[in-house]
Amino acid sequence: MNILELKNVTLIKEGRSLLNDITMDIWDGYVHAIVGPNGAGKSTLAHTIMGLGGYRDFSGDILFKGKSIKNLSIDERARLGLTLVFQEPARFEGLTVSKFVLAGVKEKSKSLVDKALEMVGFDPSKYRERSVDKTLSGGERKRIELASVYAMHPELVLMDEPDSGIDIDAIKYIFDIIQEFKKEGISVILVTHSPEVLKQSDHAFLICGGQLVDKGEVGKVFEYFSGKCSPCKHVGKPELEKSNLRGQQ
């Protein structure tokens, strides 16, 4: 069963085609990856799914749990169970970690804050009352943002470059939480160009120049990605094969 379906999504901004006729199905309860070189349109796709400002005016449709979310605002999409972990987490001056973690939670409790912080490898007693501001590193804020998503218990999590800004020792916690989401039946879309992150997924899509180039089993997509995309020989213009897509889901 699909939790999310993209149907011929095309996004043109200032005369540039950022997403070009993308159709994809996201299976419920699985970890999917969207891979591609820098500038391929991966983050654009994530932002379009979440409905961020500047990414709303697209053609085609996006269905979440079978219903179109095209005309829904960000918060309406979130309340249906869709959320996004940003590549660069925001800073919130004066807002405590506890308040931030519980922001999207109806039944707020200290124990939930502690559990969410432990999930991302933080000692709650050292972080609960800190502010989500510049006193925390980008990596710390990213893990706290992930804790807030864990506390929210969504149905589908979009994670934009989940390893960016995270030091090597802490990546384990990011991978653990991805697997915890899966265990709890939460679907995940990882936007990445990291082979290590890609390995966390069950299924992958390769996009380039705003187009879907390949999809299928992770090893196969990675082989294509590393063979044809790295180093990139066509800079944002995918060499689509005759059938448009090499693999089938």
Partner 1 sequence: MNKSKDELLQELLASISQHKMPPDVAHIEIHGNEVLNAHLVPGLEVNSKSFEDGVNINIRVIKDTKIKNPVRFCFGLIPENGIQKLNINTVIEENASATFIASCTFPNAKNIQHLMDATITIEKGASFSYFERHIHGPEGGVTIAPVTKVFVKENSRYSTEFELIKGAAGIIELDYEAECEKDAVVDMKTRIFGRLKDKIHIKEAAHLKGENSVGVLTSHIALKDEANAIVENEIIADGAFARGHVDCKEIVQDNARARAIPIVQVNDHRAHVTHEAAIGSVDSKQLETLLSRGLTENEATELIIQGLLK
Strands (E), 52-162: 58-64, 67-68, 82-85, 92-96, 131-132, 156-160
Contact (Cβ atoms closer than 8 angstroms) between residue 12 and residue 67? no
Peptide bond into 231 cis (omega under 30): yes
Instruction: Confirm or reject binding of residue 198 to partner 1 (CB under 8 A).
Output: no
- The answer to whether 84 contacts partner 1 (rule: CB under 8 A) is yes
Q: Compute the least distance from the CB of residue 102 to partner 1, in Å.
A: 9
Query: Per rule CB under 8 A, is residue 86 in the interface with partner 1?
Result: yes
State the sign of the Cα–Cα–Cα–Cα dihedral 232, 237, 239, 244: positive
Find out whether 4 and 26 touch, Cβ atoms under 8 Å.
Answer: yes
139 three-state secondary structure: helix
Q: How far is the CB of 149 from partner 1 (least distance, A)?
A: 8
Q: Is 49 in the site for partner 1 (CB under 8 A)?
A: no
Of positions 14, 93, 107, 169, contacts partner 1 by CB under 8 A:
93
Over the Cα atoms of the chain, what is R_g? 18
> At closest approach, how far in Å is the CB of 130 from partner 1?
12
| Contact status: 73 vs partner 1 (CB under 8 A) | yes
**Total binding residues toward partner 1, as defined by CB under 8 A:** 28
Does the protein bind partner 1 through residue 175 (CB under 8 A)? no
Candidate ranges 23-31, 148-156, 161-169, 199-207; the one touching partner 1 (CB under 8 A)? 148-156
- CB-based burial of residue 153 (10 Å sphere; 0-12 exposed, 13-18 middle, 19+ buried)? middle
Q: Does the protein bind partner 1 through residue 94 (CB under 8 A)?
A: yes
Among 53, 185, 227, 231, binds partner 1 (CB under 8 A): 53
Task: Specify the 3-state DSSP secondary structure of 129.
Answer: coil
When binding is defined by CB under 8 A, the residue of 3, 152, 197, 212 that contacts partner 1 is: 152
148 makes contact with partner 1 (CB under 8 A): yes
Residue bearing tokens 């249906």: 80
Contact in structure between 143 and 118 (CB atoms under 8 Å): no
Q: Please report, as a single letter, which amino acid is at residue 184.
A: E
Choice from 4, 50, 178, 208 touching partner 1 (CB under 8 A): 50
Question: Under the rule (CB under 8 A), what is the footprint of partner 1?
Answer: 50, 52-53, 73-75, 77-79, 83-84, 86, 88-95, 99, 103-104, 131, 145, 148-149, 152
